[in-house]
Amino acid sequence: MAERGWRIVLITTVQPVAANLVPVLRELGHDPVAIISARRPAGRARPRGDFPELSDSSAPPGVDVLIARDKWSMEPLLRACQPDLAMCWGFSWRIPLAALEVPRLGSINQHPALLPRHRGPIPISWAIRNGDAEYGVTWHRMDADLDTGRILAQTTVPMSDDDFDYLTIGPRLLRAAFELLPRVFDRLASGDAGDPQPTEGATWAGHFGEDYATIDWRQSARAIHNQVRAWAFVTSTNPVPGPIAELDGTQVRITRTSLVQPMEPEGAIRIETADGPIWVVAWEPLDEPVDTPSAAPSSS
């Protein structure tokens, strides 16, 4: 059984992660003492209304909230907290190794993929793009590289055709990750280094480019539906917008489609594809800013 009473620092910019993980850690007998978040660059839009921005007012009670100005301030902030363990979940910076080595038990990360598949910033988007049947959940030790540390525990979460936002998939991913924590903590307490990631099957879930930005209605309905769903989980740091299509002579960003006729079809547009119809359910003007969550559950 794992030791109890660890001082734990949570590294995240995702409010629901902090709000849900802190009470779980307390139930397991540990002391979450602080949350380290990241300062949002000036001019970058705040995450859309899927969930609140992590701030002093939205953070769970009983923990210090520290805002790092850059990745180099992570080490002194962690040293000030004197943690036994750092837990990263939904953080966009690659944290320097010197900071990761501050806690006596090391630092661990929750990555929403079945590592080594889909390492990188948008693993959920790539799982959908590649037609995976499920999402992965991996707890792993953190090292100097991105998402390459030794694995402590893994599981999978079924994927649904109606997955278009984090409010839909978030509870499933949270629940799966929490169920793994007793095993993760047992391994940490025993000094277990974890399992090395295999080289076979490693893929990179990098930002989408122009090659995937425009919808081609000549593709299959499934390919188009997956493209729209994949873009729904792309972060605001992606260099190009998407998915773009033309509706009634105007270029728009498609935000939701359906493979079956919607129960409330009013407003939905039926379009013929290579192998049958798809329904465009929601879209927005192309000149609106891409405001998807910049700190979606990802890697650090």
Instruction: Answer whether residue 243 shows pLDDT above 60.
Output: yes
Contact 158, 134 (CB under 8 A): yes
Band of pLDDT at residue 42, cut at 50, 70 and 90: low
3-class DSSP assignment, residue 231: helix
Instruction: Answer whether residue 117 shows pLDDT above 50.
Output: yes
Least confident of 39-43, 54-58, 103-107, 238-242: 39-43
Residues facing residue 155 across a β-bridge: 137
pLDDT in tens, 281-296: 999 998 755 444 333 3
3-class DSSP assignment, residue 257: strand
Q: Which helix (H) or strand (E) segment is 211 a member of?
A: none
Residue linked to tokens 């930002």: 207
Instruction: Show the beta-strand stretches assigned E in 59-106.
Output: 64-68, 85-88
- Per-residue confidence (pLDDT) for residue 292, from 0 to 100: 41
CATH of 109-206, one of 3.40.50.150, 3.30.420.10, 3.40.50.170, 2.160.10.10: 3.40.50.170
Instruction: Answer whether residue 80 shows pLDDT above 80.
Output: yes
**What is the pLDDT averaged over residues 215-219?**
96
- Per-residue confidence (pLDDT) for residue 290, from 0 to 100: 47
Same fold, 1-105 and 109-206: yes
Instruction: Answer whether residue 178 shows pLDDT above 60.
Output: yes
Instruction: Answer whether residue 49 shows pLDDT above 90.
Output: no
Please tell me the distance from the alpha carbon of residue 225 to that of residue 242, in angstroms, as a whole number: 13
Band of pLDDT at residue 173, cut at 50, 70 and 90: very high
- Per-residue confidence (pLDDT) for residue 39, from 0 to 100: 86
Identity of the amino acid at 94: R
Instruction: Answer whether residue 52 shows pLDDT above 60.
Output: yes
- Per-residue confidence (pLDDT) for residue 281, from 0 to 100: 95
**What is the pLDDT averaged over residues 67-85?**
97
**What is the pLDDT averaged over residues 47-63?**
77
Band of pLDDT at residue 116, cut at 50, 70 and 90: very high
pLDDT in tens, 130-139: 999 999 999 9
Fold for 210-285, please state it. Methionyl-tRNA Fmet Formyltransferase; Chain A, domain 2 (3.10.25)
- Per-residue confidence (pLDDT) for residue 56, from 0 to 100: 83
Phi, psi of 237 (to 5 degrees): -85, 0
Superfamily of domain 1-105: Formyl transferase, N-terminal domain (3.40.50.170)
Domain chopping of the chain, boundaries: 1-105, 109-206, 210-285
Phi, psi of 289 (to 5 degrees): -65, 145
- Per-residue confidence (pLDDT) for residue 203, from 0 to 100: 97
Contact 66, 34 (CB under 8 A): yes
Identity of the amino acid at 200: E
